[in-house]
Amino acid sequence: MSSKVSTLKGKTIVLGVTGGIAAYKACELVSRLKKAQAQVHVIMTRNACEFVQPLTFQTLSGNPVATDTFANPQFWEVEHIALAQKADLFVVAPATANVIAKLAHGLADDMLTTTILATKAPVLIAPAMNTQMYRAEPTQRNLDALLARGMKTVGPGGGLLACGDVGAGRMSEPVEIVDAIEQVLAPQGDYAGLKVLVTAGPTREPLDPVRYLSNRSSGRMGYAVAEALLARGAQVTLVTGPVSLPVPEGAQAVDITTTQDLYEAVTTRAPDMDVLIQAAAPADFTAEQASEEKITKQPGQGLTMYLRQTPDVAKAAGEHKQPHQVFVGFAAETSRDLQKARRKMDSKNLDLICLNDVTEPGAGFDVETNILTLVTPNAVTALPKMSKRQAADRLLDEVLKIRRGKG
């Protein structure tokens, strides 16, 4: 369990349990929250009661379990309004496709959905369902709608599901959900007044008007860092390559395409920043001479193109780093080579480098999770698999430690 127990002490967590096989995991979640000294109130849907009896959650939480909007209210309060007002955080775990759809469309036809609609507290969703249901376009649209309204998600994980399928859809483990809860409830504002430049996404190097050299970066990690910074009060400039992600509200976006664009965007802005976090994945090579016309395939003939190196953005920025600044880089590798990461950190004058082995399940491209190893000149911190947003906050915690060390 996370060590940040003080984050949850005295907090009121309302846990919504819906009708999925993962409802049994919610019992452990309640237990962990109680051990962290949180006050826990459980709301169960009718279908959830088919998997776990309300008495179980009542015993674990020490509070009555709400199942019926029309039950006698406690202490002369309208129960769903009372819970909505007292909550510091709502957690729905497991969150079925059905309940996610209801929340996305503002339905309020049971105790859980009615209470969430009435609350001003943050809401954390832990999806759990069959892989195909999770990947279905309506489900993804519904999740996007919830994120757009400010709700947070944790998971789902991948693996063998209860239905026998293998893939995404498994509810995050209780320890992971507790970590996500701590991130949502963590004290905000520790980056207030700081100017931070974040780079994200790939670059594209044209070969002809149709084709280009690029890589598989989705930009998700960089965008997660930008979101975490904004939540912690930073003034964020996001230099972004071509990705299919919405720019976090409050960030100043600078769109780039090529590595040369990235070089110019970073080197002109970095001197004015307190922190530079380089999560972009620039192409290392570009065509010596891009064709002005589409290259046409000729029968029986191959194709030879000459490439040259692109500018080293991180190295150029590091050469002009000021004593008070903190510069962070990323190393997406196919092995956990700490020596290589340290050499890269030293050659580019970085204070910290985030190493991740993209061949590890859950740490590759275009997934919601990451497995980072944070390398500084004096320490190596291996993080477990977690959401990219959680990893972003852990990274930002390390950056603050480095800043304090610089005085």
Question: What is the per-residue pLDDT across 190-214, written as a single tens digit (0 to 9) for each?
Answer: 898 999 999 999 999 999 999 999 9
The pair of structure tokens assigned to 365 is 């491209």
Mean pLDDT of the chain: 87
CATH code at 5-185: 3.40.50.1950
Whether the pLDDT of residue 150 is over 90: the answer is no
Whether the pLDDT of residue 11 is over 80: the answer is yes
**Residue recorded with tokens 């998600």:** 153
Q: d(Cα 32, Cα 42) in Å, to the nearest integer?
A: 14
pTM of the model: 0.59
- Secondary structure of the chain: what % helix, strand, coil (to 5)? 35, 25, 40
What's 2's DSSP letter? -
Q: d(Cα 396, Cα 390) in Å, to the nearest integer?
A: 10
**pLDDT-derived band of residue 158, with 50, 70 and 90 as boundaries?**
low
Q: Among 252-256, 262-266, 356-360, whose mean pLDDT is lowest?
A: 356-360
Sequence ranges of the chain with CATH classification 3.40.50.1950: 5-185
**pLDDT-derived band of residue 250, with 50, 70 and 90 as boundaries?**
confident
Whole-angstrom CA distances from 329 to 18, 162, 173, 209, 221 are: 41, 40, 30, 31, 12
For domain 195-285+304-405, give the CATH superfamily. Answer: CoaB-like (3.40.50.10300)
69 contacts: CB under 8 Å, gap ≥ 6: 79, 80, 110, 111, 114
Burial of 155-170, coded b for 16+ CB within 10 Å and e otherwise, reads bbbbeebeeeeeebbb
Q: What is the dihedral of CA 150, 252, 256, 366, to 10 degrees?
A: -20
The pair of structure tokens assigned to 376 is 């500084």
Tell which wins on pLDDT, 183 or 287: 287
121 contacts: CB under 8 Å, gap ≥ 6: 14, 84, 87, 88, 89, 90
The pair of structure tokens assigned to 162 is 């209860």
Whole-number pLDDT of residue 172: 86
Residues that are catalytic: 163
**Residue recorded with tokens 């590759």:** 364
**pLDDT-derived band of residue 77, with 50, 70 and 90 as boundaries?**
very low
Whole-number pLDDT of residue 136: 85
Whether the pLDDT of residue 80 is over 80: the answer is no
Residue type at position 103:
L
Whole-angstrom CA distances from 48 to 25, 44, 60, 299 are: 12, 6, 16, 63
Which range has the top average pLDDT, 36-50, 75-89, 339-353? 339-353
Q: Using one digit for the tens of pLDDT, what is the confidence trace for 316-325?
A: 999 999 999 9
CB 18 within 8 A of CB 103: no
Whole-number pLDDT of residue 166: 60
Sequence ranges of the chain with CATH classification 3.40.50.10300: 195-285+304-405
Region 127-144: mean pLDDT is 85
